[in-house]
Structure 1
Amino acid sequence: MEIIFKEVNVHNWEKCVDLKVSEDQKNFVAANWYSLLQAKFYEEEELYPIAIYDGDTMVGFLMYCLDIEEGRNRWEMCRLMIDKKYQGKGYGKKTLDKLLNHIREKYGNIEFYTSIEPDNIVAQKLYESMGFKKTGEILWGEEVMMVQL
């Protein structure tokens, strides 16, 4: 497994939009087309959409951002999805490890955040395995988690 991050661009955006989670996960993460539109037009935050590849095969999508709403001013992962064909093979953990290393190299030893739907036990276990802990904060009905890099 060779996880590579590539920008979503004119050459790969359609493949990114075609990636899907399983039916029982659809309520846990926004559709990739929505995330790409949000990154393009949402001016209140710096949004960084990234295609996740294993070699030449796109296996997922993530997006991180600088959340400046309501004075939060913090870096966070706002999307992570692995296509249903590639789930259960370790891509989520490898991707998250690579992202945390990228954030640490780019921004230093910072607090890094994400949030989960309360019913998304699989994501919670993944994030906890990477050092994230619940903060007690609730945003948009989701539980906020944080890891110190």
Structure 2
Amino acid sequence: MTSRAGMREYPVALEPVGKGNRAAILALELLPQQQGFVASNAESLAEARQDDEAIARAVVAAGRVVGFLMYSAPEDDDEAIIYRLMIDRREQGKGLGSAAVAKLLEEIARLGRIRRVSICYEPENEAARRLYAGFGFVERGLDEDGEMIADLELGG
């Protein structure tokens, strides 16, 4: 997937989290006004180590880690759930979040058994709302924690 920001293109890759990129993921930062929207990457990486179904990915552009995401797609289920997506504050506004979501949806589709992708986000997170709506996610309402649930139905 290639993202376009102005005239510059940003090829985006999703790479497994490991020793080679863990420190870079931990160094990523959000804008101050985004702090309450997503768990810290340290917390997310700890959660991924404890949860056998969690799949953590570094978002890489131009050879550098620019973001982090985490999802699950249990083998006995036809639903994938995106738990985390963040792009470093210095890399925002370049289309990298959209490119990462597109790449993630490609990865999920390659599993061949997923019919629905779900995500939850804070209702006041307008950037997330616009991002996911742009891919066809439909808001379903609030969950028990007050987060917005949005689903994308995949073909198949």
Give the match for residue 65 of structure 1. Answer: 72
Structure 2 counterparts to residues 1-149 of structure 1, below 5 A: 1-42=10-51, 46-66=53-73, 74-108=79-113, 110-149=115-154
Work out whether residues 78 and 114 of structure 2, in 8 Å CA contact, stay in contact via their aligned partners in 1. Answer: no
SS at match of 2:82: strand
Work out whether residues 136 and 143 of structure 1, in 8 Å CA contact, stay in contact via their aligned partners in 2. Answer: yes
Structure 1 distance, partners of 2:114, 2:72, is 16
4+ residue segments displaced more than 6 Å? none
How much does 1:109 deviate? 5.1
CA deviation profile, 1:50-92 (whole Å, cap 9, x unmatched): 000013111100000147xxxx973110000000000011001
- Give the TM-score taking structure 2 as reference length: 0.86
- What's the C-alpha RMSD, in Å, of the aligned pairs? 1.8
Letter in 1 for 2:17: V
Structure 1 distance, partners of 2:37, 2:47, is 17
Deviates more, 1:116-125 or 1:102-111: 102-111
Structure 2 distance, partners of 1:109, 1:11, is 30
Aligned-residue sequence identity (percent) comes to 31
Structure 2 spans left out of the alignment, 5+ residues: 1-9
Check 1:111–1:63 CA distance in 2 against 1; reply closer, same or farther (3 A cut).
same
- Give the TM-score taking structure 1 as reference length: 0.90
The number of equivalent residue pairs is: 144
Check 1:63–1:139 CA distance in 2 against 1; reply closer, same or farther (3 A cut).
farther
